[in-house]
Structure 1
Amino acid sequence: MKAILIDDENPALLQLERLIQADGRMDVGGKFTRVSSGLEYLEDNPVDVVFLDIEMPGINGLEAGERLSATHPDLHIVFVTAYNHYAIEAFELNALDYVLKPVDPARFSKTISRIESRMSTTRSMPAPQDSVVICFKRLALEASGEAGGLLRWRTQKAQELFAFLLHQNGQWVTKDHILETLWPQLVLDKATTQLHTSVYQVRKVLKHWGVEATIEYAHDSYRLTRSGFTTDADLFIRGIHIPGVETEQEFQQLERVLHLYQGDYLEEHDYFWAKPVREELRRQYIHGSLVAAAYERNKGRERQALKRLLALQQKEPYSDEICRSVIQAYHDQGNEAALVSHYREFTNLIRNELDAAPEAETVQLYLELTDRE
């Protein structure tokens, strides 16, 4: 990663440079005491990050940040300031982070990690020309960023073969394993004929899409090459591993990732071989949603948090973790009646349907929130 530093005070520039050198994950391309000099440098030099002081004579950092965001949309901006009341304005300009002077080394290291995470996510996103195969809820195709129709397959087995090979993430799969998984009830000759017919149909659909992907065959094995397309599940997996949500920008990034999850992985097709991945992606979605709700609660947006949590409990009604988050959100709102009602409904549900009781942690939280110890 390459950065430039803009601050009208040389000691501040030197401190930032030393911190960057000590961290070792970023190079300093230039140090400037005037915004205009930094802008001139950017015209001719590739830069990933700008550390920008807010309080400067003439054009201040916020104005400069606005200009940079307009002219260099891929540039990551980190504001440096002695006053934290600038933070809200900084993030309104889509800044990646802000650090307070004098800069604390541990806090600065966290900022570098945040930059690394953001750049990794950005680089992993597909090129605009890629098609997107929708795997959440049901199999569908979205070409060039536009809503597409459902994939049209001549047979359901051709569709399942495509989904099964897609599920392997470009790995080779033996013919025997495919036959045992997709045609276990057929004798070998008939199953092999079905496989060859389905391979032909999948290749035909791929050609109709106009993507470079195809099914390859070698050493009695098959694989689906993944040139020219990605999947919404891929994008979800790449984006859901956010180290933490501490800023509005990170929250918005998490929201975009969660929005990809429109239903369980291949939910409507109910392929048995997809179950482990389906459960893992569901677990990650629930965790990400709880992180988002916690951020909303911390920012005083209890209503939004509660709406998210109640929708989440519809998906996972037996979850103690979600129940705890819901009753905590009701407590934040000062709505003890709803808190008590929700806890009792949850208790009755798991007792009647699972013959179970709430976890000790759930009971303890309920007692603390209602002063019933």
Structure 2
Amino acid sequence: MMKVILIDDDPVMHLILRKMLVKFPGVQVAGAFKDTQSAAAFLSANNDIGLAFVDISMPGESGMVFASRMEEAGGGVQIVFVTSSKEFAVKAYELSVVDYLVKPVSQERLERTVNRALAGRESFRMPPLKDPADKGTGEIIITALGDFSIQNELGRVKWISSKSAELFAYLLLHRGKRIARTRLVGDIFGGMTRESAEKYLNTAVYQLRKSLEPLGLREVVRSENDGYALELTNAVIDYEVFEQQVGKPGNIEADDMESVLQFERLYTGDLFGNKAYVWAIYETERLAELYASFVKRLSELLIFLRNRTAASKLLLKLHARNPLDESVVSLLMKIHGQEGNKKGLTAQYTDYVKLLNRELGIRPSKELLMLYDSLVSEKNNQMSKA
């Protein structure tokens, strides 16, 4: 297991990289820092860190200066720069860094970096054993979009049962509020007899606390007046960060494109992944609609900026989620029109017409037909002028 740390003054990047790195079984994120000073202090107290992902441009000491200091000190930590600019690439490689990643970082590109770092380790040092009784004091990172995991500096929660995980998820959506046992019995254990449901709830509460105990989080599940409440402090929850970033009113600015594309990466799937909890349907659909609306606005700007490749990539993700969404189809048609791709435009439109007829027995809107006709006419006019 290779332990890594993240150094970036943007906490959103901490969450994005955590969500991406958790997919590698040979990697554990041991800490995340907003400045190089706190990161250096952590490294001096923890000699088992094998890799650091470092932003170059930060207030105070830059990532470049930090990497130079680490190299001069002769520490064993490998450095990967994660930055928004390619201009420092030559200088970065003079410092013998493992890799240089330009934001937004793709999962495939990160995988190559991680494999390179794993292959480049000179030796494997066992991390110091943690006392399970130690109370976790660092950030609690909760991933609930496309997956469901809880982790802090002591590790990742290993659920004892599916119902203990579901109970945590339920309390998470209502954290800080007391949820009566009767409500939990009805929503999570519906269909059972009252006696059986009460028994399974007791078991689930016990298993949940046992699951959280190795991370020092047993006490976050609090008993209160014949009910339970989840009390979390210093927690970073991906769907909250996503909503805070993309739910802001106003138009998306072209100057913010890099950051905005990173926010899109926070949404790695529906709430709680494939769990599909019935009691979470409303919140799942609300977040999915927020994501779809955000991507459409972002794609419209990308199309205006003629960044058709990025726009197509985002829209095709939405199209795969809901091929009946006419607004997505219209944007894809506009991209084909910009590209002068009459064949692709016609295929996009006719495939959608066939889908509507086959699945719903209806025709597309007049607006879509008019858009198709105008795009075809525009293409024909361009050909005749040529």
Question: Is the TM value for this pair above 0.5?
Answer: yes
CA contact (8 A) 1:296 1:302 kept: yes
Segment drifting more, 264-273 vs 316-325: 264-273
- Shift in Å at residue 267 of structure 1? 2.9
Q: Distance in 1 between matches of 2:344 and 2:161?
A: 50
Match of residue 281 from structure 1: 287
Q: Distance in 2 between matches of 1:267 and 1:356?
A: 32
Q: Distance in 2 between matches of 1:142 and 1:282?
A: 24
Alignment map for 1:1-373 (pairs within 5 Å): 70-71=59-60, 129-144=138-153, 151-211=157-217, 214-242=220-248, 243-249=250-256, 251-371=257-377
- Shift in Å at residue 321 of structure 1? 0.6
CA contact (8 A) 1:131 1:230 kept: yes
- Shift in Å at residue 92 of structure 1? 7.4
- Shift in Å at residue 285 of structure 1? 1.0
CA contact (8 A) 2:160 2:208 kept: no
Q: Distance in 1 between matches of 2:85 and 2:145?
A: 32
Quick one: which amino acid aligns to residue 197 of structure 2? A
CA contact (8 A) 1:133 1:140 kept: yes
Match of residue 124 from structure 1: none
CA contact (8 A) 2:165 2:208 kept: yes
Change in Cα spacing, 1:256 to 1:303, as seen in structure 2 (3 Å) is: closer
- 1:133 counterpart SS class: strand
CA contact (8 A) 1:212 1:228 kept: no
Change in Cα spacing, 1:169 to 1:328, as seen in structure 2 (3 Å) is: farther
Q: Distance in 2 between matches of 1:359 and 1:280?
A: 25
Unmatched runs of 5 consecutive residues or more in structure 1:
1-67, 74-90, 94-127
Cα-to-partner distance string for 1:289-341 (whole Å, 9 max, x where unaligned) = 11221222122211221222123211111000100110011111111221111
Change in Cα spacing, 1:71 to 1:177, as seen in structure 2 (3 Å) is: same
CA contact (8 A) 1:254 1:288 kept: no
- Shift in Å at residue 211 of structure 1? 3.9
Segment drifting more, 339-348 vs 166-175: 166-175
CA contact (8 A) 2:177 2:229 kept: yes
- Shift in Å at residue 264 of structure 1? 1.0
CA RMSD of aligned residues (A): 2.9
Change in Cα spacing, 1:219 to 1:70, as seen in structure 2 (3 Å) is: closer
- Shift in Å at residue 276 of structure 1? 1.0
Match of residue 47 from structure 2: none
CA contact (8 A) 2:315 2:328 kept: yes
Q: Distance in 2 between matches of 1:329 and 1:280?
A: 28
TM (normalized to structure 1)?
Answer: 0.62
- 1:153 counterpart SS class: coil
- 1:370 counterpart SS class: helix
- 1:227 counterpart SS class: coil
Q: Distance in 2 between matches of 1:155 and 1:260?
A: 27
Match of residue 104 from structure 2: none
CA contact (8 A) 1:213 1:226 kept: no
Q: Distance in 1 between matches of 2:363 and 2:138?
A: 52
CA contact (8 A) 2:148 2:273 kept: no
Quick one: which amino acid aligns to residue 140 of structure 1? S
Quick one: which amino acid aligns to residue 147 of structure 2? R
TM (normalized to structure 2)?
Answer: 0.60
- Shift in Å at residue 70 of structure 1? 4.8
How high is the sequence identity, in percent, across the aligned residues?
Answer: 22
Cα-to-partner distance string for 1:198-230 (whole Å, 9 max, x where unaligned) = 112212222322248611222222211122323
Q: Distance in 2 between matches of 1:134 and 1:229?
A: 11
Change in Cα spacing, 1:306 to 1:186, as seen in structure 2 (3 Å) is: closer
Aligned pair count?
A: 253
Change in Cα spacing, 1:174 to 1:290, as seen in structure 2 (3 Å) is: same
Change in Cα spacing, 1:69 to 1:189, as seen in structure 2 (3 Å) is: closer
- 1:268 counterpart SS class: helix
Segment drifting more, 271-280 vs 133-142: 133-142
- Shift in Å at residue 371 of structure 1? 2.3
